[in-house]
Structure formats: C-alpha cells, structure tokens
Amino acid sequence: MANFKTIWKMVAVVCVVLWPPLAGADDKTWKMHTEAGEEAYRQGNLTEAEKEFREARKETDALAFPDQRQAVSLENLARLYCLQGKYGQAEGLYWQVLTIREKILGATHPDLAAAFNNLALIYFAEQHYHEAERFYLRALTIWEKTQGAETCAFATGLS
C-alpha cells in the first residue's frame, strides 16, 4: 500500500511540474494573436483584427473549463462587432463572456459588471431601453458594492 501512495504522490508532483509549461505553450500563441488583433483594431484594420481575434478564440477552444482567456477573446470579437454595428453577433458573444466571468469570478466581481454594462450598451443601441436599463442597473449595483459610489467606474456607468 505504501508503494501505491508513493507512486500517486510522484504522479501528482510530475503533473504540477509539467502542467505550467504545457499550458504556457497555448498561452503564448493566444497572446500573440490577441496582441496582433488589438494592434490591428487600434490601426482601424478591422478585417485583420477580426482574423486575429478569431485565431485567439480558436486557441481557447481546447480548454475544457471556463478560462479568462476565453472571455477576453469573446469580448474582443464582441467589441469589434459592436463597432461594425453587428449587434446581434456581439450580443451572443457578450452573453458568453458574462457566463464565463460569473463562473470564474463570482457574481459580484467588477469585470462581471463590465459585461453587464456591455450588454446594456448593445440593448441601448438597438433601442431596447427597458433591457438596457436592467443591465445598466445590474452593473451599477456591482460597481457600487465592490468599489463604492465615489469611484470612476461607478460614475462612468451613470453617464
């Protein structure tokens, strides 16, 4: 029985030691595509930005669990689609961002408030004011609880 426990301890150590480099390989490619997409976005090359953001998103597809990189990739694509007026596509992506962030960060994290705010912006642009208000209020509630009513994030959400 001692040998069995010893073997499992060694397996655990090997997994801990080897896992970060394996995870880092995907992370490097994801980061490269994300940064290239952000640069293309800043330069106004939306076609290239979309291509790079899609490649970054593909890098996250293999992850079997919600990961912040998935949320970032989806959010980048959604932001791009909003700029292009493709609100329907952006809305679906922002819902996925919301689901991932709530699962990873919890129901009261400021990044979750940002996801609610982004959905509100889409509903406002589509003149669905009741829905927009509902999501703005959820975002403001989180910001107020986590950062206080006197913070910039809270004040920005009010404007």
pLDDT of residue 149: 75
| pLDDT per residue of the chain (159 residues) written in tens, 0 to 9 | 444 344 334 433 333 333 343 344 468 999 999 999 999 999 999 999 999 999 999 999 888 668 999 999 999 999 999 999 999 999 999 999 999 999 999 999 999 999 999 999 999 999 999 999 999 999 999 999 998 877 655 555 555
Please report where in the chains the tokens 């819902």 appear, as a residue. Answer: 95
How far apart (Å, rounded) are the C-alpha atoms in residues 154 and 147? 8
Backbone torsions φ then ψ of 148, nearest 5 degrees: 90, 155
How far apart (Å, rounded) are the C-alpha atoms in residues 118 and 132? 9
How far apart (Å, rounded) are the C-alpha atoms in residues 159 and 73? 27
Domains of the chain (ranges, CATH numbers) = 24-158 (1.25.40.10)
Please report where in the chains the tokens 């990044």 appear, as a residue. Answer: 111
| Assigned token pair, 5 | 């426990």
The residues near 24 (Cβ < 8 Å, ≥ 6 apart) are: none
Three-class SS state of 5:
helix
How far apart (Å, rounded) are the C-alpha atoms in residues 79 and 129? 20
